[in-house]
Amino acid sequence: MSQQKAREGGVALRTGRVGGLELGALLTVYGSTDIFLSFPSRLAQHGAQGAFFIPVLSALLMLVALFIVFLLQRSAAKRNWLESLEENLTHFLTMPIALALSLYFLLQTALNAREFAETIITTVLPVTPTSIIILLLLLTVFYYAMAGYEGFTRVSILLGTVMLVGLIVLTLLPMTWFRRDLLFPILGNGPLALATSSFRNTGEFPQLLLVMILAATLRNHKHTLRVGVISISFSAVIMSVVLLVFIGTFAEAVTGAVPFPLYQLARVIYVGRYIQRLESIFVFLWISAAVIKLGFGLWLTGYLYAHAFRMPLYRPLLPMFIVLIYVIAFLPPDLPTVQMLYENYFERYSWIVTLALPVGLAAIARLIEWVKSRRHRGRNRGKHDDSQASEEPRTRLGFRKKVLR
């Protein structure tokens, strides 16, 4: 295990070093896992027939923000972004930011765990208690989180390939039911509605925030921008293709009547006598995505909390957060309440965390660095002028001595 260097007076928070391909796979899987839940149905309801444009427009906005942040704080890619902020904003200002981010990922992970469990009960295991499913899911997630950051990246690159092949199968085989006329009018509720929904759903692309936090863990810091661009682009393509097939397959898709789009796409597959009932493939992909999504959310919660209080280890915090996630997951009474909370709060306001916060903090840090550099140049110029003034009389005196001689 390698260690990231903390700022002076702090401690080293132990993390791993990963390659660009592994981190890109992890961020892609983490950012596109919501397509296995009810998110595509809500997106189709907001954007109607043009809903498949929304992920593309949201991704373009996030890519612009990524380039802006990269230009403002390019030097921060060589170290932890939070540590670089401490040098400009002090630890007393960055600690609340790290705690707020830890709380954000904690609540999101708890709601995702409950939604995954309720979805499994609704579709696959209708008589199994919710508590048993969440407990088994969280125990698996806890094991992966204890394995560490490097383990997540390696599992993501292995399962990511399998998930990509499975998604291709689940989107190509239902094409026998695909109707092009269901895609018209192509812009759905209009350009303004698409633009509004695209900005609102930028929170579904957390790669900008995660790249800033995890850039220092890359073995080659030159790949930071590439990892962000590839992960955002792949997530957008996956979401758009799923939405395109979903809207073109179900006439009632734009009304939100289909609760779990990918599961319904798997159920309608019928290509001859022996290629049908492929829900088992979907369930495997579903559980794999849930483990990576929830496990990495738990890891981020512990990592950010440990960084806020300058703890050298995050693993002792994970049992506490597992218990909190289990308790918070049962606060909503049912699945509609979970979906309502996620739609009205996380999908509506998460752009503040994933878009506004990174860009705003990068701009503030850049401004402070510019002010410090101006002051430093001013002090050096003043010292240089004083040295010239003090040396000038001696030079003249020396010249006079030479003339007198």
Fold for 20-404, please state it: Amino acid/polyamine transporter I (1.20.1740)
Every domain of the chain and the residues it spans = 20-404
Amino acid residing at 49: Q
Question: What SS3 class is residue 228?
Answer: helix
Residue 101 neighbours by CB distance under 10 Å? 22
Q: What angle do CA 66, 69, 71 make, to 5 degrees?
A: 105
pLDDT per residue as tens, the chain (405 positions): 444 444 444 445 656 688 888 999 999 999 999 888 888 888 888 888 889 999 999 999 999 999 998 888 765 555 667 777 777 777 777 889 999 999 999 999 999 999 999 988 888 888 889 999 999 999 999 998 998 888 888 888 888 888 888 888 888 888 888 888 888 888 888 899 899 999 988 988 999 999 888 888 888 878 888 999 999 999 999 999 999 999 998 887 887 778 888 888 888 887 777 777 777 778 888 888 889 999 999 999 999 999 889 888 899 999 999 999 999 999 999 889 998 998 889 888 999 999 999 898 888 888 887 887 777 777 766 665 555 555 555 444 444 444 433
Listing DSSP states for 45-106 in one string gives HHHGGGGGGHHHHHHHHHHHHHHHHHHHSGGGGGS-HHHHHHHHH-HHHHHHHHHHHHHHHH
What's the pTM value of the predicted model, to 2 decimals?
0.87
**324 burial type by CB count under 10 A (0-12 exposed, 13-18 middle, 19+ buried):** middle
Distance, CA of 236 to CA of 233 (rounded, Å): 5
